[in-house]
Amino acid sequence: MNYIVIILSMVFVSNFVLARFLGLCPFIGVSRRTSDALGMGLAVTFVMTLASAVTWVIYTYFLRAGAANIFYRLGLIGRSQSLVPVLKVTSYILVIAVLVQLVEMFLHKVVPVLYRTLGIYLPLITTNCAIMGVALLSTTAWPGAQEPRFLEAVVQGFGAGIGFLLAMLLMSGIRERLALSRVPECFQDVPIAFICTGMMALSFMAFAGMIR
Amino acid sequence: MSIVISALVVMSLLGVTFGIGLALASRRLAVEVDPRIEQVTEALPGLNCGACGYAQCAAYAEALVKGEASVGLCSPGGEEVASLVGTILGLKVEVATPRVAVLRCHRQNCPERCDYDGLDDCRGAELLQAGFLACHYGCLGLGTCVEACQFEALLMGEDGLPRVIEENCVACGACVCVCPRNLFTLESVSDYIHLRCNSHDRGAVARKVCERSCIACRLCERECPVDAITMVNNLAVIDQEKCIRCGQCVRVCPNEVIVDFRLARGIAIERDQHEEETELAS
């Protein structure tokens, strides 16, 4: 039951693009066509899920203060000492970069068309704040006793990815129709897309407060 | 101090593990790339226009190196690119004569069936009850082709018909794909007698909906000395391979639907046709 709550909250209540405004670069850049948006959304979901999983392992066993910390077991640091503020960004970005590289290699071999279509946006997933956001959220953002378990962290990452995918599909549907409408020239393409994003974000506010 | 050591240990451990992991993965997921593909892609114009039949220049380069495609297919590149590619691949080059897009419509005073208030796009208009014009085969004039052309070879004229700017046209076929009524064809530059009508309506109907339509009167068919013209579904069809470009059909057509495209191109015409030139041009 808990997992369904997590997914619903990641997809609707705190949608990474529309409620948290993370990951706007690929959101605007790849959402011109629905087929591209679908491919990008799936790639991001994959990276987010794996990133959540790997960073949870690193967080629990290497960074967090507590009995599980390997360095505490080795006697190097005290029980309440934590490596989190020192290493969270560095190690997480390393993990994310490696995962994106893996996805790139996989796509180049298995689905070269998608690889070529996504072009520069594929390596840009590395610097995408949404992925880092998910990694940090699944691990470091929980106070005290509420530290998430492994499966909860993974589901959180997966849900965030699905939320991103949903937002991208909605946006690409709107943009495909906008391309044929009479938009004033100064607003065409990107500006009108941002205005639409704002309106979509407003409508997604309706979900706020659904889940505490 | 111990925190520093621990931090160093973590990062080194992660670095080594991931480094080995990636190296193994790159071996497993390696993609064999022929270096000539890169060279050919560089030689191609890089416009990704689709004239060769491949979505991107990179895809055409791959097909060329694999031997699946012939060398002369790049129309924007023309002879220059074809010979470059031929040098890289060690192939002989045959380049086709340049082609341009030809609009097969001369819509004049075609009445509107209804008020159209929908998407500003010919394809959208065509989806709604086959368009807002009385003629079901002619140009709707909303400019989808002009938008689709990435070489600025199409301009919307004042009469609501797109004009082809032949110097810029590279025969990529974007307008051919995009026009919902299939009004564009790609014709060789050396063919200049074309029928500018697409209407399969019977003569009586065609006459009502357009002042310059083909009414299938068969005068051109009778006058053609080499029998290059046939009637297919109330529309004259000129066989460009048989056509000797004498211009008889142009002179004889009552609605001036068969057009000598040299007039638009400004090429000099022989002297015994001089009177026709001034008559048709006015």
B45 phi/psi in degrees, rounded to 5? -65, -20
Contact B229, B220 (CB under 8 A): yes
Contact B142, B120 (CB under 8 A): yes
Q: Which of chain B's residues have a Cβ under 8 Å away from the Cβ of A100?
A: none
For A182, the closest chain B residue by CA position comes to B120
Q: Which of residues 120-179 of A touch B (CB under 8 A)?
A: none
pLDDT digits (tens, 9 = 90+) for A1-50: 689 999 999 999 999 999 999 999 889 988 999 988 998 999 899 999 99
Task: Determine whether the interchain pair B25/A62 forms a contact, defined as Cβ–Cβ distance below 8 Å.
Answer: no
Residue B191 identity: D
Confidence of residue A197 (pLDDT cuts 50, 70, 90): very high
Q: Is the pLDDT of residue B128 over 90?
A: no
Contact A63, B11 (CB under 8 A): no
A76: closest CA of chain B, how far (Å): 6
ipTM above 0.85, yes or no: no
Total H helices, total E strands in chain A: 9, 0
pLDDT for the residue numbered B269: 47
Task: Determine whether the interchain pair B14/A94 forms a contact, defined as Cβ–Cβ distance below 8 Å.
Answer: yes
Alpha-carbon distance values, B260 to A123, B104, B168, B267 (Å): 54, 13, 20, 11
Question: Integer distance in angstroms from the first to the last C-alpha of chain A?
Answer: 15
CA distance B151 to B232: 33
For the segment A110-119, the average pLDDT, to the nearest whole number, is 83
Tokens, residue B103: 């609009």
Instruction: Tell me, yes or no, if A106 comes closer than 8 A to chain B by beta carbon.
Output: yes
pLDDT for the residue numbered B181: 93
Q: Which of chain B's residues have a Cβ under 8 Å away from the Cβ of A105?
A: 25-26, 29
Q: Which of chain B's residues have a Cβ under 8 Å away from the Cβ of A71?
A: 2, 6, 9
pLDDT for the residue numbered B277: 56
For B6, the closest of A83, A106, A180 (CB atoms) is A83
Distance of CA B214 to the CA centre of its chain: 23
A87: closest CA of chain B, how far (Å): 7
Confidence of residue B231 (pLDDT cuts 50, 70, 90): very high
> DSSP letter string over A106-148?
HHHHH-HHHHHHHGGGTGGGTT-HHHHHHHHHHHTTS-GGGPP
pTM (2 decimals)?
A: 0.72
pLDDT for the residue numbered B86: 84
Q: What is the mean pLDDT of chain B?
A: 85
Q: Is the pLDDT of residue B92 over 80?
A: no
| Tokens 């996504």 belong to residue | A118
> DSSP letter string over B171-193?
---HHHHH-TT--EEEEETT--E
CA distance B215 to B231: 10
pLDDT digits (tens, 9 = 90+) for B162-172: 999 888 888 88
Q: Give the other-Cβ count within 10 Å of B36's Cβ.
A: 16
B9: closest CA of chain A, how far (Å): 9
B277 phi/psi in degrees, rounded to 5? -60, -45
Contact A105, A111 (CB under 8 A): no
A2: closest CA of chain B, how far (Å): 32
Size of interface A-B (CB pairs under 8 A): 59
CA distance A28 to A191: 10
For B3, the closest of A83, A95, A116 (CB atoms) is A83
On the CB side of B22, CA atoms within 13 Å amount to 18
pLDDT for the residue numbered A186: 93
Higher pLDDT, B130 or A145: B130
Instruction: Tell me, yes or no, if A57 comes closer than 8 A to chain B by beta carbon.
Output: no
Confidence of residue A131 (pLDDT cuts 50, 70, 90): very high
Instruction: Tell me, yes or no, if A83 comes closer than 8 A to chain B by beta carbon.
Output: yes
For the stretch A8-24, what's the b/e string if a residue is b when 16 or more beta carbons lie within 10 angstroms of its beta carbon? ebbbbbbbbbbbbebbb
For the segment A52-68, the average pLDDT, to the nearest whole number, is 88
For A105, the closest of B25, B119, B121 (CB atoms) is B25
Alpha-carbon distance values, A19 to A8, B141, B198, B280 (Å): 13, 43, 53, 66
For A107, the closest chain B residue by CA position comes to B29
| Tokens 């992660």 belong to residue | B14
Task: Determine whether the interchain pair A181/B21 forms a contact, defined as Cβ–Cβ distance below 8 Å.
Answer: no
Interface test with A, best of B14, B17, B37 (most A CBs within 10 A): B14
CA distance B165 to B265: 9
Higher pLDDT, B91 or A174: A174
CA distance A89 to B164: 57
pLDDT for the residue numbered B67: 82
Alpha-carbon distance values, B251 to A15, A45, B103, B277, B282 (Å): 69, 67, 20, 10, 14
A113: closest CA of chain B, how far (Å): 10
Task: Determine whether the interchain pair B119/A180 forms a contact, defined as Cβ–Cβ distance below 8 Å.
Answer: yes
Q: Give the other-Cβ count within 10 Å of B30's Cβ.
A: 11
Task: Determine whether the interchain pair A94/B120 forms a contact, defined as Cβ–Cβ distance below 8 Å.
Answer: no
Q: Give the other-Cβ count within 10 Å of B133's Cβ.
A: 21
User: B233: phi > 0 → left, psi -120 to 50 → alpha, else beta; which?
Assistant: left
Q: What percent of chain B has pLDDT over 70?
A: 93
